[in-house]
Amino acid sequence: MASLDPEGRLIVANSAMRRFYRRLLGTELELGQPLFRHSKPERIQLWQGRLARVLEGQRQRYEETYEQGDSRLVLDVSLHPILAESGQPVGVTLFARDITVRKEAETRLGEMHRTLVDVSRQTGMAEVATGVLHNVGNTLNSVNISTTLVTDQLRRSRVSGLAKATNLLRTHATNLASFLTRDSQGQQLPPYLIAVSEQLVEERDAMLKEMQSLAQSVEHIKSIVSMQQKHARSAGAVEQVDVPQLIDEALRLHAVSFERLAIRIVRDYADVPLIFVDRHKLLQILINLLSNARHALVDSAQEDKCLSIHVQRANGGERLRIHVTDNGVGIAEENVARLFTQGFTTKKSGHGFGLHISALAAEEMKGRLTCTSPGPGQGATFSLELPVKGEGA
C-alpha cells in the first residue's frame, strides 16, 4: 500500500510496498520522489495516464505483470482518490495484491481442460464431450476466479489491522484524549480507522457480489449437465426468455475479468419482446461470444478496450438480432468464413470448438450465428439472429 501526491510523488508506503520495490528494482523507495521514476518510459507514461484518471475522481483497477528472470509476478492493483473536505481529489491511494498463485492456478485449469478435451476426442465422443467440457470450462473459469478472489480478500482483509488499532486504543484507554491529540501515533489513528472502515465495506460488498456470481455459475453448470443427461430423449426446454436480462447474466459471469482488464462495456438494448428459446443454449452462446471478445481485447494494443452489445428487432419484428462487437485484434478476411468450422482457431491456446458449438446451438434454435470484421486490428462483430416465436411456443 502506498499514497501519492497529485504529481505521483510518494507520501507514505508500508513495509510490503518497500519490500516489493526493493525486490523488483534493487533499490529503496524514497519519500518525496516519483514512485515510477526507475521504471521504463512506456510504463511511466502508462501510469501517468492512470493517475490522471484517478485525480479526476475515478477509481481504477488494473492487473500488472512484472518479469523477473524466468519468473513473473502478477499484481491486482486498485487506485483510489484521496479527497479533501471540499470533495476534490488531492492524492492517490494505491493498494496491490499478489495474485501470481491465482494466475498459475488458472493456467493449470486451462491445461487440465485441454487435456480432458483431447482425451474425449480420442475415445470417439468428441462432438458431445467437447461441447459439455467447453461450456462447463468457461463457467468453471468464472467459478475459479470468484472463489480465488474471495479467498484472497479474506486472507488479505484489513480486519487484522483493525484489531491492532483497537488494541492500541485499549492500551491507552486511561489517557485516550491525550493519546489521540498529542501522540504522533495516536494522531494518525482516526484517519486510519476511517480508511479501514471504508475498505472493509468495499471488501464486504465485493465478496457478496462474488458469491452471487459464484451461485449463478454453479447453477449454470448444473443446467449444462442436466441438459446433456436429457439430450437423448429431449431437445431441451423451450421457455420465454428476456434476452437483455440473459445478456446481463452472461456479463456477470465475466464481470471480474472485464473489470480487472479495464474493458468498457456498452449496452444498447432496444425494446424487444420475450422470445421462445432454450434458455441455457442461448446462455452458452452468449458466454462463448463474450469469452472470445475478451481474448480479442486482451491481445489488442487498444488503450480504450470496448465491448458493445446491441439488441434489436429484425425482419419486420419476426426475428431478434444480437450484435456483440469488440475493438480488439480483428479477423483476417480469409479466416472469417472458416471461424465456425470445428477445430479452426486463430488463438494460440484455442481448440476451435466454442464457435462451432455455438453455431450448431443457434441452428438447433432455428437461428443463425455470423461474423464480420473490417480486418486485423479493427475489431469484429458477431451477430446472432433468433426467431421471436420458436418451436413449442
Tell me the pLDDT tens digit for each residue of 322-358. Answer: 999 999 999 998 888 888 887 777 666 555 677 888 8
Is residue 313 in a domain? Answer: yes
Q: Cell triple for residue 358?
A: 455455438
Confidence at residue 389, expressed as pLDDT on a 0 to 100 scale: 76
Is there a single domain that holds both residue 221 and residue 242?
Answer: no
Residue 225 has pLDDT above 60, yes or no: yes
> Cα(136)–Cα(223) distance, rounded to whole angstroms?
10
Confidence at residue 326, expressed as pLDDT on a 0 to 100 scale: 95
- Percent of the chain residues past pLDDT 90, beyond the cut: 28
Is there a single domain that holds both residue 54 and residue 89?
Answer: yes
Confidence at residue 378, expressed as pLDDT on a 0 to 100 scale: 92
Q: Are 74 and 98 in contact (CB under 8 A)?
A: yes
Confidence at residue 126, expressed as pLDDT on a 0 to 100 scale: 45
Q: Cell triple for residue 223?
A: 443446467
Is there a single domain that holds both residue 92 and residue 221?
Answer: no
Higher model confidence: residue 210 or residue 18? Answer: 18
Q: Cell triple for residue 24?
A: 523488483
Is there a single domain that holds both residue 364 and residue 336?
Answer: yes
Domain boundary among 98, 116, 143: 98
Is there a single domain that holds both residue 125 and residue 81?
Answer: no
Is residue 392 in a domain? Answer: no
Question: 373: domain range?
Answer: 235-387
Query: β-strands 306-314, 264-269: how paired?
Result: parallel
Q: What mean pLDDT is predicted for residues 187-200? A: 85
Q: Are 180 and 189 in contact (CB under 8 A)?
A: yes
> Cα(128)–Cα(228) distance, rounded to whole angstroms?
8
Domain boundary among 57, 77, 98: 98
Higher model confidence: residue 157 or residue 305? Answer: 305
Residue 136 has pLDDT above 80, yes or no: no
Is residue 318 in a domain? Answer: yes
Is there a single domain that holds both residue 223 and residue 245?
Answer: no
Q: Are 61 and 76 in contact (CB under 8 A)?
A: yes
Is there a single domain that holds both residue 295 and residue 368?
Answer: yes
Is there a single domain that holds both residue 206 and residue 151?
Answer: yes
Domain boundary among 212, 228, 244: 228
Confidence at residue 226, expressed as pLDDT on a 0 to 100 scale: 62
Tally of CA atoms within 13 A in the half-sphere of 85 that contains its CB: 0
Confidence at residue 10, expressed as pLDDT on a 0 to 100 scale: 92
Is there a single domain that holds both residue 240 and residue 374?
Answer: yes
Is residue 393 in a domain? Answer: no
pLDDT digits (tens, 9 = 90+) for 238-273: 888 999 999 998 888 777 678 888 899 999 999 999
CATH number of the domain where residue 54 is located: 3.30.450.20
Is there a single domain that holds both residue 120 and residue 20?
Answer: no
C-alpha distances (whole Å) from 288 to each of 77, 117, 282, 283 are: 27, 16, 10, 9
- Any idea which residue has 501510469 for its cell? 47
Residue 391 has pLDDT above 70, yes or no: no
Confidence at residue 369, expressed as pLDDT on a 0 to 100 scale: 94
Cα 306–Cα 309–Cα 312 angle in degrees, nearest 5: 150
CATH number of the domain where residue 363 is located: 3.30.565.10
Is there a single domain that holds both residue 380 and residue 241?
Answer: yes
- Percent of the chain residues past pLDDT 70, beyond the cut: 85
Is residue 280 in a domain? Answer: yes
Q: What mean pLDDT is predicted for residues 112-138? A: 57
SS (H, E, C) 64-96: EEEEECCEEEEEEEEEEEEECCCCCEEEEEEEE
Residue 236 has pLDDT above 70, yes or no: no
Is residue 335 in a domain? Answer: yes
Residue 392 has pLDDT above 50, yes or no: no
What is the chain's percent helix, strand, coil content, to nearest 5? Answer: 50, 20, 25
Q: What mean pLDDT is predicted for residues 62-70? A: 81
pLDDT digits (tens, 9 = 90+) for 17-42: 998 888 888 888 889 998 888 888 88
Confidence at residue 231, expressed as pLDDT on a 0 to 100 scale: 45
Is there a single domain that holds both residue 382 and residue 249?
Answer: yes
Is pTM beyond 0.75 here? no
Q: What is the DSSP string of 9-38?
A: BEEEE-HHHHHHHHHHHSS---TTSBTTTT
- Mean pLDDT (the chain) is 82
For the chain, what is the domain count?
Answer: 3
